[in-house]
Amino acid sequence: MIMRTFCSSIVRAVLLVSLVGGLAACGASGDFSDLQAKMAEIKARPRGRIEPPPEFVPIASVSYSVHQMRNPFMPPVDESSMAIPHGRQVEPDFTRPREYLERFTLDSLRMVGTISRPGSAVEVLIQDPTSTVNRVRVGNHMGKNFGRVIEVSETSVGVLEIVPDGQDGWVERSRTIKLVE
């Protein structure tokens, strides 16, 4: 107990001495002549001029008018196959439930093989962008433009799409997906 009291009094004495010493150092001489000289030198320097910000030049607006043109990264489509028929009017069936491969464009689908069994029609293996391989046969639908498979062979798939004709109507367009080797 005596030791504890002795230690605490020593700690108090050390704190008191350091506090008094710190206060004495702050008010030592009151001589700030070197600081005042430095401030006078800074104030005597010529003042700099801040340059004005650059003048805003508005950019001329341009209207984007090529959105109706063909995408340069897609293969061109034969214009003769897009001729507007004068006879039968074509229109997609909007009430038909969509099939899985109708989520993807025909350009993103790849033919990777065929399956043939005795006594049944040839089925084509189509790989979608998610790398899933799907079986397709005549009558199935694929592509975003209401494409219907009309022909299946060992090396290609014929698809008949129904696309807008640009005049509030629809037109059929045939496309072929060839086997990728």
Q: What's the average model confidence in pLDDT over 61-90?
A: 69
How far is residue 30's CA from residue 18's CA, in Å, rounded to a whole number?
20
**What confidence tens digit (pLDDT) does each residue in 138-172 have?**
999 999 999 999 999 889 999 999 988 777 788 88
pLDDT for the residue numbered 85: 53
Which residues are within 8 A (CB) of 172 and not within 5 positions of it... i.e. 6 or more apart? 85, 90, 160, 161, 162, 163
**Which pLDDT score is estimated for 157?**
93
Q: 0.75 cut: is pTM over it? A: no
Of 3.30.390.50, 3.40.30.10, 2.30.30.830, 3.40.50.12170, which CATH number belongs to 101-178?
2.30.30.830
Per-residue confidence band for 82, with pLDDT thresholds at 50, 70 and 90: low
Confidence category of residue 19, pLDDT binned at 50, 70, 90: confident
pLDDT band at 30 (very low <50, low <70, confident <90, very high): low
The domain segmentation of the chain, as residue ranges, is: 101-178
- 87-139 confidence digits (pLDDT tens): 567 888 889 999 999 999 999 999 999 998 888 888 999 999 999 999 999 99
- At 108, is the secondary structure helix, strand, or coil? helix
